Chains A and B, each alone.
Chain A
Amino acid sequence: MTAQAHRTGSAEALLEIRQLEKRFSLSGDFLDQLRFKGGKLVRKQEYVHAINGVSLDINRGEALCVVGESGCGKSTVARTVMGLLSPSAGEVHYDGTRIDNLGSRQLLPFRKRMQMIFQNPYASLNPRMTIQQTLEEPLRLHHPDWNRQQVVDQVEQVMTSVGIDPDWGKRFGHEFSGGQRQRIAIARALAVDPEFIVADEPISALDVSIQAQVLNLLMDAQRERNLTYLFITHDLAVVEHFGTRVAVMYLGTVCEIADTATLFAKPRHPYTQALLSAIPRLDDDGPQHIRLTGEVPTPVNLPSGCVFHGRCPYANARCRQEVPALQTQDDGVRVACHAVEEGRL
Chain B
Amino acid sequence: MALLEVNHLDVHFALRKGDVHALRDINFTLERGERLGIVGESGAGKSVAAFSLLNLIAKPGFIAGGEVNFEGKTLNTMSERRLRKVRGNRISMIFQDPMMTLNPVLSIGEQMIECLKAHRRITTKAARAIALDKLQQVQLPSPDTRLAQYPHELSGGMRQRVIIAIALLLDPDIIIADEPTTALDVTIQAEIMALLLNLCEQHNVGLILITHDLGVVSQVTQRMLVMYAGRVIEQGPTREIINDPQHPYTQGLINALPQMATPGEPLNQIRGSMPSLSNLPSGCAFHPRCNFIRRADGQTRPACVEQVPGFVTSGNCQVACHMVAELLEDRRLQEESL
Contacts and interface: CB of A to CB of B under 8 A. Distances in A.
> Do A and B truly interact?
yes
Contacts of A295: 155, 157-158, 188
B42 A212 contact: no
Interface in B28-53: 41-42
Contacts of A235: 258
B259 A281 contact: yes
Interface string A250-293: 00000000001100000000000011011111111111010110
A274 B188 CA distance: 11
Contact of A280 (B218, B252, B256, B273): B218
Interface in A33-59: none
Given A177-B273, A280-B213, A241 B267 contact: yes
B273 A287 contact: no
B252 A209 contact: yes
Interface stretch (B57-65, B77-85, B88-96, B190-198): B190-198
Contacts of A278: 186-187, 189-190
A219 interface: yes
A282 B261 contact: no
B42 A207 contact: yes
Nearest to B261: A241
Contacts of B158: 295
A209 B269 contact: yes
A242 B258 CA distance: 9
Contact of B263 (A236, A241, A280, A283): A241
Nearest to B270: A209
A238 B270 contact: no
Interface residues of B, number: 42
Residue of B185, B242, B258 with most chain A CB atoms under a 10 A cut-off:
B258
A260 B197 CA distance: 32
Contacts of A286: 197, 219
A128 B129 CA distance: 56
Contacts of A284: 219
Contact of B258 (A213, A237, A291): A237
Interface string B254-293: 1011110101101111110110000000000000000000
Interface in A280-325: 280-287, 289, 291-292, 294-296
Given A261-B263, A280-B219, A208 B186 contact: no
A151 B137 CA distance: 63
Contacts of A341: none
A70 B20 CA distance: 37
A333 interface: no
Interface in A210-235: 210-213, 215-216, 219-220, 234-235
Contacts of B187: 69, 274-275, 278, 292
A208 B219 contact: no
Contacts of A219: 264, 266
Interface in B210-236: 212-216, 218-219
B256 A237 contact: no
A284 B271 CA distance: 29
A179 interface: yes
B247 to A, nearest CB: 13
Contacts of B269: 209, 212-213, 216
Given A219-B266, A275-B187, A208 B215 contact: no
B253 interface: yes
A279 B274 contact: no
Contacts of A294: 141
Contact of A282 (B186, B197, B242): B242
A215 B258 contact: yes
B185 A234 contact: yes
A284 B243 CA distance: 11
A195 interface: no
Nearest to A214: B269
B259 A237 contact: yes
Contacts of B258: 212, 215, 235, 237-238, 240-242
Contacts of B254: 282
B203 to A, nearest CB: 18
Nearest to B211: A280
Contacts of A215: 258, 267
Contact of B273 (A210, A236, A240, A241): A210
Nearest to B212: A208
Given A209-B253, A234-B186, A282-B218, 12 more contacts: A69-B188, A207-B273, A212-B257, A219-B264, A275-B187, A277-B190, A278-B189, A280-B218, A285-B219, A286-B197, A287-B197, A287-B219
Interface of A: 69-70, 177, 179-180, 207-213, 215-216, 219-220, 234-238, 240-242, 260-261, 274-275, 277-287, 289, 291-292, 294-296
User: 6 tightest A-B contacts by CB?
Assistant: A280-B215, A241-B258, A69-B185, A212-B256, A278-B190, A207-B41
12 contacts: A180-B273, A208-B214, A212-B258, A212-B268, A219-B266, A278-B189, A279-B186, A280-B218, A283-B218, A285-B219, A287-B190, A289-B194
Interface of B: 41-42, 141, 155, 157-158, 185-191, 193-194, 197, 212-216, 218-219, 242, 252-254, 256-259, 261, 263-264, 266-271, 273-274
